[in-house]
Structure 1
């Protein structure tokens, strides 16, 4: 199972940070590298929420959660007590923090605010030939959001695989949902194939979110009003209930004709 948490941040206003959660030294350094106060707050808010979620799931003090980082910068949880591994990924964009958690398989998540921007200058750099051809069937008014659908799916896929956006985005076709293969180098230096499914959904008509996960995994969504801990007791105020339009197994901006 993959649990997806979505937290609207309302443009950075009225974010109530949890008490008694201390970010690590490296997290505070990363926070200070952001130039604007708003981005610093987004980072602190997202990492605090991530610590609360892991702390709740593993029954440990959120401030005691220790992260390490893979060769491409993906964070991992270190459990010195030998508990079952927990996999997670976080996406922080304007107006939304999204977190995906799984107890049995690596996950990736990416969220972006819907936009009327066409992103034409990025198509040749990021889209496969099949995806670029599919754009010819997309109305001009939808092309910006159609691009964001593909972008979030590719980023979620590569984040799940642990390669990050340093990989060649054009070699991945992510129009369909099932059986996406990512070839990565194992610890022994050999290449190995890993497979993921993708789901994309629209949240509150304002954001598009894509999740990459183990094939066949069940997705469960948690909104701020249904957090797995007692918000008032931890001084973490729920922001609002997410009104989501879930669009499983399909493409919000690409119809079946465009996929053929």
Structure 2
């Protein structure tokens, strides 16, 4: 089972990039974030033409939005939380595989949090912290098995997940208020699948700002996109790749796809 997570930053705008991605690596499941399209305008036929017979999505105009595209049968899980009671289309979850032993897959788009790392001065930052707190508590209250969490979690938790730990400590996405919360969520029952393959001592990024035209040379990146698995799935991890080359595609997203291969779907 090959799973890809990608903040595509507008699905309709970047459909040709999705087609290129699928042609190059042939994923079984693609989890998208920031699709920026209402459900009635979702390009369902175009997505199905790429080989994804099973598609679920939650979207809104111009902002947010998540989608899961699958070549394998999936069913949407009901009764998921409305995080922070916002109804803002930041999460979707499915069961994939047989009903008696499915893989549970969660696709998240965590709020970015604005620019000011102060929950009193900045309501967007307060929302981000509350969202992660709610997610941690929800997962911690469950007996998790065969579960995968992917998405743009908008936090780079480790020192080597950013180009400069010292310079970004007061920058939203790497502040201690965020990193401690994200790690607490992860420790509620998950293993960092990306760091299973790349040691924490090594740099690892998935996002490079549009503001930096020479992004590859300066390499001032952050790891904002994540893949977590429950411990029972760790023996099934086969490969992981950050598709850095996608950052140089025509009209790219500022995030690049992350691919994980699991033997659990075999």
TM-score normalised by structure 2 residue count = 0.37
Q: Looking at both structures, which has the greater relative contact order when contacts are Cα pairs under 8 Å and sequence separation is at least 6?
A: 1
